[in-house]
Structure 1
């Protein structure tokens, strides 16, 4: 899969494709249905498939302090799109200049001149352009004039409700990991690099890997049974994600993982943390002794989970 950052980096070889546009935060089953149709249409026309995304996501640009929690950072999103067989990702910087483009200007600059789109696959509720003036009907008319077809993506439902990034955030915030897995088509996971932390876990007898989140807020919080992928191997663990109310906080969310069966140096390593079961909410403890007792209970609960789980086999 090729990544192109900005319209100015498009080349003649990128013209002529089947495209879709959106945030694709989470790359959930609704997104996957769009991407499956994208692949089909690309194969029919004999052209590459292209996904147009924005960084930052528009709501992060307009109200960074109030934007919804990211389900996937850019690195994670690109990896998931590659797994879905996407040929090209055009990542556009969402800034004041892009925000002020009219719907017609965006279509001309990005879809016609930039990508030479042959077919466009979007949701029927898709809005774009300055003041969100462009919609599906606008695209139909633009396509008829510029020579590309437009198709509305099929809505995917789970449990009688539409699969969406907003619904997924609600489900994760509630700690309903089985439903989140049903919406995603895979267990929810976060990827990050292990960095140095306060090393309080060592003092409490439970050393932890401090996984860099690079997020203002997280879609879930609390203590969870997790597994950690490192160099293609899976290790059982228990993790706390949130604001760490029992220690001095820096106002940022943290992900701290204690591996049950691993001895080694993780600093600087890129790991993937998959969430399997919520054990409890984050809570503030009056003393380090009380915190240690809670951590010991969490580790015991995680060990019990892995002893009885048939879905995991530790790899040394």
Structure 2
């Protein structure tokens, strides 16, 4: 998959494609349906498929403190898009310059001159351009003039429920991993590199991998039974994700995973933590002794959960 970053890298050499535009946060089953249709249209026209995304996401630009937590950071999003057969991703820096483009300028600069677009798939509620003045009807009129077709992406429902990134955030915040998995089409996971931390887990005889989050706040919090992918092999574990209220907080969310019955140096390695079952909410303990007892109880609860997942004989 080709990644093109920024308006300055657009040019005639990239001309001709079938495209869609959006945040694609989570690359959930609704997004996957759009990508499937995109691949079909690209094959019909003999052109590459292209997904246009923004970094930061528009709500993060306008209201960084009120923006919703991301389901996927940029690297994970790109990996998922590649896995669903996208040929090209255009990642536009959402900044003042882009924000001030009129709807007509966005169509002319990005879609027509930059991408040479032949077909566009977007939701019928899609808005764009300065003050969100552009809409689906505007795109249809522009397409008729500039020679590209526009099709509305269909809403996808799972078990009678509309699939959306907002809904997935809601169920993750509630600890409902089963519903999140149905809407995503896969278990929810977070990837990151293992960094050096405070080493508190070692003092409590519960060493953890401190995994870099690179996000203001995650969409879920608490203690979970997890599987951690190490060298492509899943390892059973327990993870705490949140603000660590018992220890001195740095104001940032942390993801710490303990792998059951596993001992190896993981520093610097990139791990995928797959959230399987919520054990409890995060809470503050009055002493390290209470925290240690809670951790031991969490390990026992995780082992009990994983025991139920073993195939019966």
Matched, 1:109 2:109: yes
- 1:48-127 equivalences under 5 Å are 48-127=48-127
Question: Does the aligned pair in 1 maintain the 2:11–2:113 contact within 8 Å?
Answer: no
Q: Partners of 1:282 and 1:200 in 2: how far apart? A: 17
SS in 1 for 2:205: coil
Q: Partners of 2:5 and 2:80 in 1: how far apart? A: 18
Q: Partners of 2:91 and 2:67 in 1: how far apart? A: 19
2:176 match: 176
- 1:1-316 equivalences under 5 Å are 1-310=1-310
Q: Partners of 2:12 and 2:232 in 1: how far apart? A: 38
Q: Partners of 1:235 and 1:263 in 2: how far apart? A: 11
Worse-superposed segment, 169-178 or 259-268:
259-268
Gaps of 5+ in 1: 312-316
Offset, 1:12: 2.8
Q: Partners of 1:123 and 1:96 in 2: how far apart? A: 24
Moved over 6 A (4+): none
Question: Does the aligned pair in 1 maintain the 2:12–2:113 contact within 8 Å?
Answer: no
Q: Partners of 1:129 and 1:58 in 2: how far apart? A: 11
Change beyond 3 A, Cα 1:207–1:138: same
TM-score normalised according to structure 2 size = 0.98
Offset, 1:64: 0.8
The one-character-per-residue Cα deviations of 1:221-245 (angstroms, maximum 9, x if unpaired) are: 0000000112211111000000000
Gaps of 5+ in 2: none
SS in 2 for 1:245: coil
SS in 1 for 2:170: helix
SS in 2 for 1:296: helix
How much is the aligned-residue C-alpha RMSD, in angstroms? 0.9
Q: Partners of 2:30 and 2:150 in 1: how far apart? A: 18
SS in 2 for 1:24: coil
Question: Does the aligned pair in 1 maintain the 2:195–2:209 contact within 8 Å?
Answer: yes
1:314 match: none
SS in 2 for 1:306: helix
Q: Partners of 2:257 and 2:7 in 1: how far apart? A: 40
TM-score normalised according to structure 1 size = 0.97
Question: Does the aligned pair in 1 maintain the 2:71–2:169 contact within 8 Å?
Answer: yes
